[in-house]
Amino acid sequence: MGVGAVRGGLTRMFFVAAALAFLSLPSAVIAQEKVVESVKRTVKSRVAPAYPPLAKRMNVVGKVKIEVTITADGRVKDTRIVGGSPVLVTAAIDAVKQWKFEPAAKDTTEIIEFEFKDPSS
């Protein structure tokens, strides 16, 4: 058996193990958010992330951290993923881009954490 065949078999085993781990997670999931660092800007309006259908089918839960740059007039100018499941990050970014903050003298940066979790916990 060649190295490629062994490597391919190990890759398939990894994906099967990952899929089984996802199947054992709770099925109902919600998203909550919080500003992790000290709040420099007050949030005027928030949009909750839409739970991705793929994440729902896979029962993915967890936290997503997004660094946001906020313009002086309170709009989200830029986002950067700090951490989290690739299945959940797009939903968090799409939501936080719609947030509005209080105006300030200059652009600021905040870290916002979204938690996708089982609502019964």
What's the pLDDT tens digit per position in 93-111? 999 999 999 999 999 999 9
β-bridge partners, 65: 83, 113
Task: Please count the structural domains in the chain.
Answer: 1
pLDDT at 30: 55
DSSP of 49-95: PPPPHHHHHHT--EEEEEEEEE-TTSBEEEEEEEE--HHHHHHHHHH
What is the signed CA dihedral for 56, 91, 47, 42, rounded to 10 degrees?
130
Stated pTM of the model = 0.67
pLDDT at 20: 38
Question: Residue 64's domain spans which residues?
Answer: 3-117
CATH code assigned at 34? 3.30.2420.10
What's the pLDDT tens digit per position in 37-66? 445 789 999 999 988 999 988 889 999 999
